[in-house]
Amino acid sequence: MASRSSLHMNPGSGSALALLADPPTRLIDGAAMDYFLIEAVNALRASSAVAAARAQKIEQEMAEAGLVPPPPPAKPQNHRDSVGSTTARSTTLVDEEDEGVRSRLEAIGLHVGGNFAERLCRDRPTFGDSLDAIKFVCKELWVSCWDKQVDNLRTNHRGVYVLQDNAFKPVVRISSWEGRAEALKRAKLYVALPAGIIRGALARMGLHGTVIPEITSLPHCTFQIKLPKNS
């Protein structure tokens, strides 16, 4: 029976087996990814503005109905230096909006990173310790997502790792009409998704920590990973 069934196998099955054993890497166009991220940030900004407005409206209705104490007044106006207070208020408003977008981007990154790590870790033996996992992130994850390896990895061997990339792909093209400072400020939003990807990948491998991205000068970017001590 076995021989007859082997006669019935179609000639392409040998290559099908080879494909199953060693699937070719699937690639995505880098430019398409860039365009998608640009649109994602804009769409999330609009959606988080709508969500914030809705939450504020509900708060206001509840306050008027007397169910909750009225919200605290926005920063007390100091009439002596009105310029300072209005600018402070406008930056906190912008930061709150950005915070909404940022948290949504990071949440998306968490899911993406987790699933991506599943595929990357397919035939890999389990990691010895968290340093191996971080090295996997630096080499495999970075190469798959952003086409290069991390340039510098530092650790204090107590759960804090600093990954440094001298030309981080999502921010390498960010440049603004208003100059370097403005470009730097806006670039902080675009590293939220990669930070989420790293955090999601580590979480899926069992290391639940935090990832904090930092940009001091474009396109140089660092990620500070804090992992709990017991791993």
Partner 1 sequence: MTIFSLYIYDRHCACVYYQDWHRTKRPKPAVEGGILNAVSRAVAPQAADTSAANSSAFSSPRNTLSSNTGFVVAIGDDSSSSSTPAQAAVDGPRSNALPFDEEAKLVYGVILTLRNMVKKLSGRDEQFTSYRTSAYKLHLYETISGYKFVMLSDPSTDGLRFVLRQIYNGPFVDYVVRNPLVTMDSREQGIDNDYFRASVDRLIRGLSVFA
Take residue 129 and report the two structure tokens written for it: 């310790």
Is the Cβ–Cβ distance between 48 and 104 less than 8 Å?
Answer: yes
x/- map, 156-175, partner 1, by CB under 8 A: -----------------xxx
Give the span between the Cα atoms of 100 and 170, in whole angstroms: 20
For partner 1, give the closer residue by CB, 133 or 215. Answer: 215
Q: Does 215 bind partner 1 (CB under 8 A)?
A: no
Please state the closest distance from residue 39 (CB atom) to partner 1, in A: 10
For partner 1, give the closer residue by CB, 135 or 186. Answer: 186
Q: Does 186 bind partner 1 (CB under 8 A)?
A: yes
Q: Which of 119, 154, 180, 226 binds partner 1 (CB under 8 A)?
A: 180
For partner 1, give the closer residue by CB, 34 or 118. Answer: 34
Q: Does 29 bind partner 1 (CB under 8 A)?
A: no
Is the Cβ–Cβ distance between 70 and 63 less than 8 Å?
Answer: yes
The closest of 137, 135, 128, 126 to 201, measured between CA atoms, is 137
In this structure, the number of other CB atoms found within 10 A of the CB of residue 149 comes to 13
What residues have CB less than 8 Å from 26, skipping those under 6 apart? none
Please state the closest distance from residue 114 (CB atom) to partner 1, in A: 25
Q: Does 176 bind partner 1 (CB under 8 A)?
A: yes
Please state the closest distance from residue 50 (CB atom) to partner 1, in A: 20
CA–CA distances in Å: residue 163 to residues 207, 225, 227: 16, 8, 13
Q: Does 148 bind partner 1 (CB under 8 A)?
A: no
Q: Does 177 bind partner 1 (CB under 8 A)?
A: yes
Q: Does 179 bind partner 1 (CB under 8 A)?
A: yes
Please state the closest distance from residue 31 (CB atom) to partner 1, in A: 6
Instruction: Find the part of the chain contacting partner 1 (CB under 8 A) among 45-53, 54-62, 149-157, 183-191.
Output: 183-191
**Please, what sign has the CA dihedral across residues 34, 117, 142, 226?**
positive
Give the span between the Cα atoms of 73 and 55, in whole angstroms: 16
H or E element in which residue 93 lies: helix 82-120
Please state the closest distance from residue 217 (CB atom) to partner 1, in A: 13
Instruction: Report the greatest alpha carbon distance in the chain.
Output: 95
Question: Which amino acid, residue 96?
Answer: E
Question: Which amino acid, residue 184?
Answer: L
Contacts (CB under 8 A) with partner 1, residues 42-101: none
The site for partner 1 (CB under 8 A) is made up of 31, 34-35, 37-38, 41, 173-177, 179-180, 183, 186, 190
